[in-house]
Structure 1
Protein backbone atom coordinates (compact mmCIF):
# COMPACT_ATOMS: atom_id res chain seq x y z
CA UNK A 1 0.00 0.00 0.00
CA UNK A 2 1.47 3.39 -0.98
CA UNK A 3 2.31 5.90 1.72
CA UNK A 4 0.51 9.21 2.06
CA UNK A 5 3.54 10.98 0.59
CA UNK A 6 3.59 8.62 -2.40
CA UNK A 7 -0.11 9.29 -2.98
CA UNK A 8 0.48 13.06 -2.76
CA UNK A 9 3.45 12.82 -5.15
CA UNK A 10 1.35 10.89 -7.66
CA UNK A 11 -1.54 13.33 -7.29
CA UNK A 12 0.82 16.28 -7.73
CA UNK A 13 2.28 14.75 -10.89
CA UNK A 14 -1.16 14.03 -12.31
CA UNK A 15 -2.52 17.50 -11.59
CA UNK A 16 0.62 19.12 -13.02
CA UNK A 17 0.42 17.07 -16.21
CA UNK A 18 -3.28 17.79 -16.60
CA UNK A 19 -2.54 21.52 -16.25
CA UNK A 20 0.01 21.47 -19.05
CA UNK A 21 -2.19 19.32 -21.30
CA UNK A 22 -5.20 21.59 -20.83
CA UNK A 23 -3.10 24.64 -21.71
CA UNK A 24 -1.89 22.90 -24.87
CA UNK A 25 -5.49 21.96 -25.68
CA UNK A 26 -6.52 25.61 -25.18
CA UNK A 27 -3.85 26.76 -27.60
CA UNK A 28 -5.10 24.28 -30.20
CA UNK A 29 -8.71 25.38 -29.68
CA UNK A 30 -7.66 29.01 -30.21
CA UNK A 31 -5.95 28.06 -33.49
CA UNK A 32 -9.17 26.30 -34.51
CA UNK A 33 -11.12 29.50 -33.78
CA UNK A 34 -12.95 28.02 -30.80
CA UNK A 35 -12.44 30.67 -28.10
CA UNK A 36 -15.15 29.30 -25.81
CA UNK A 37 -13.55 25.87 -25.76
CA UNK A 38 -10.12 27.47 -25.24
CA UNK A 39 -11.51 29.38 -22.27
CA UNK A 40 -12.95 26.16 -20.83
CA UNK A 41 -9.54 24.46 -21.08
CA UNK A 42 -7.73 27.44 -19.53
CA UNK A 43 -10.23 27.54 -16.66
CA UNK A 44 -9.81 23.82 -16.10
CA UNK A 45 -6.02 24.26 -16.15
CA UNK A 46 -6.30 26.93 -13.46
CA UNK A 47 -8.22 24.50 -11.26
CA UNK A 48 -5.55 21.86 -11.77
CA UNK A 49 -2.92 24.41 -10.72
CA UNK A 50 -4.75 24.99 -7.44
CA UNK A 51 -4.96 21.23 -6.84
CA UNK A 52 -1.24 20.77 -7.61
CA UNK A 53 -0.27 23.60 -5.25
CA UNK A 54 -2.40 22.09 -2.50
CA UNK A 55 -0.68 18.72 -2.90
CA UNK A 56 2.76 20.34 -2.96
CA UNK A 57 1.98 22.34 0.17
CA UNK A 58 0.69 19.21 1.93
CA UNK A 59 4.09 17.60 1.24
CA UNK A 60 5.90 20.66 2.60
CA UNK A 61 7.36 21.04 -0.89
CA UNK A 62 7.75 24.82 -0.72
CA UNK A 63 10.70 25.82 1.45
CA UNK A 64 12.58 29.08 1.88
CA UNK A 65 13.42 31.00 -1.28
CA UNK A 66 17.09 30.05 -0.90
CA UNK A 67 16.19 26.35 -0.61
CA UNK A 68 13.78 26.65 -3.54
CA UNK A 69 16.51 28.23 -5.69
CA UNK A 70 18.93 25.41 -4.85
CA UNK A 71 16.31 22.76 -5.61
CA UNK A 72 15.38 24.41 -8.91
CA UNK A 73 19.03 24.74 -9.96
CA UNK A 74 19.75 21.13 -9.04
CA UNK A 75 16.71 19.96 -10.96
CA UNK A 76 17.68 21.91 -14.08
CA UNK A 77 21.27 20.67 -13.84
CA UNK A 78 20.04 17.07 -13.57
CA UNK A 79 17.86 17.51 -16.65
CA UNK A 80 20.71 19.05 -18.65
CA UNK A 81 23.44 16.68 -17.48
CA UNK A 82 21.52 13.41 -17.20
CA UNK A 83 18.00 13.29 -18.57
CA UNK A 84 18.60 14.88 -21.96
CA UNK A 85 22.02 13.40 -22.75
Structure 2
Protein backbone atom coordinates (compact mmCIF):
# COMPACT_ATOMS: atom_id res chain seq x y z
CA UNK A 1 0.00 0.00 0.00
CA UNK A 2 1.39 3.46 -0.92
CA UNK A 3 0.54 6.85 0.53
CA UNK A 4 -0.32 8.79 -2.64
CA UNK A 5 -1.49 11.80 -0.64
CA UNK A 6 0.34 15.00 0.27
CA UNK A 7 0.21 14.48 4.06
CA UNK A 8 1.75 11.83 6.28
CA UNK A 9 -0.45 8.95 7.46
CA UNK A 10 -0.22 7.88 11.09
CA UNK A 11 -1.82 4.44 11.35
CA UNK A 12 -3.70 2.53 8.68
CA UNK A 13 -6.26 -0.25 8.36
CA UNK A 14 -7.24 -2.47 5.42
CA UNK A 15 -10.35 -4.67 5.29
CA UNK A 16 -10.65 -7.52 2.80
CA UNK A 17 -14.01 -9.23 2.30
CA UNK A 18 -13.63 -12.58 0.59
CA UNK A 19 -16.36 -14.85 -0.74
CA UNK A 20 -17.86 -17.26 1.79
CA UNK A 21 -15.84 -20.20 0.47
CA UNK A 22 -12.52 -18.53 1.34
CA UNK A 23 -10.65 -18.93 4.63
CA UNK A 24 -7.65 -17.00 6.03
CA UNK A 25 -4.68 -19.09 7.21
CA UNK A 26 -1.79 -16.72 8.00
CA UNK A 27 -0.36 -13.31 7.24
CA UNK A 28 2.59 -10.98 7.70
CA UNK A 29 3.29 -7.24 7.79
CA UNK A 30 0.26 -6.29 9.91
CA UNK A 31 -1.95 -7.14 12.87
CA UNK A 32 -4.68 -9.45 11.57
CA UNK A 33 -8.25 -9.72 12.87
CA UNK A 34 -10.31 -12.47 11.24
CA UNK A 35 -14.10 -12.78 11.36
CA UNK A 36 -16.91 -14.38 9.37
CA UNK A 37 -15.34 -17.85 9.47
CA UNK A 38 -12.22 -16.39 7.86
CA UNK A 39 -13.93 -14.57 5.01
CA UNK A 40 -13.34 -11.05 6.45
CA UNK A 41 -9.78 -10.08 7.23
CA UNK A 42 -8.99 -6.69 8.77
CA UNK A 43 -5.38 -5.77 9.20
CA UNK A 44 -3.79 -2.76 10.81
CA UNK A 45 -0.27 -1.46 10.92
CA UNK A 46 2.48 -2.78 13.12
CA UNK A 47 4.46 -0.38 15.31
CA UNK A 48 7.23 -0.08 12.74
CA UNK A 49 5.14 0.42 9.56
CA UNK A 50 2.29 2.67 10.68
CA UNK A 51 3.71 6.07 9.77
CA UNK A 52 3.76 6.63 6.03
CA UNK A 53 5.15 9.84 4.61
CA UNK A 54 3.86 10.90 1.16
CA UNK A 55 5.18 8.41 -1.39
CA UNK A 56 6.09 5.82 1.28
CA UNK A 57 4.75 2.26 1.19
CA UNK A 58 3.91 -0.56 3.58
CA UNK A 59 3.77 -4.18 2.45
CA UNK A 60 1.73 -7.06 3.82
CA UNK A 61 0.70 -10.48 2.66
CA UNK A 62 -1.63 -13.30 3.54
CA UNK A 63 -2.35 -16.90 2.70
CA UNK A 64 -5.61 -18.77 2.72
CA UNK A 65 -7.67 -21.45 1.08
CA UNK A 66 -10.80 -21.48 -1.05
CA UNK A 67 -13.10 -23.94 -2.68
CA UNK A 68 -15.02 -23.41 -5.86
CA UNK A 69 -14.28 -20.45 -8.12
CA UNK A 70 -12.02 -17.75 -6.68
CA UNK A 71 -13.54 -14.27 -6.57
CA UNK A 72 -11.42 -11.15 -5.96
CA UNK A 73 -12.07 -9.72 -2.50
CA UNK A 74 -13.65 -6.34 -1.84
CA UNK A 75 -11.02 -4.06 -0.32
CA UNK A 76 -11.35 -0.89 1.76
CA UNK A 77 -8.62 1.27 3.30
CA UNK A 78 -9.06 3.64 6.24
TM range (shorter): under 0.3
The structure with higher relative contact order (CA 8 Å, sep 6+) is 2
The higher radius of gyration belongs to 1
**TM score, norm. by length of structure 2:** 0.23
Question: Which structure has greater helix proportion?
Answer: 1
**TM score, norm. by length of structure 1:** 0.22
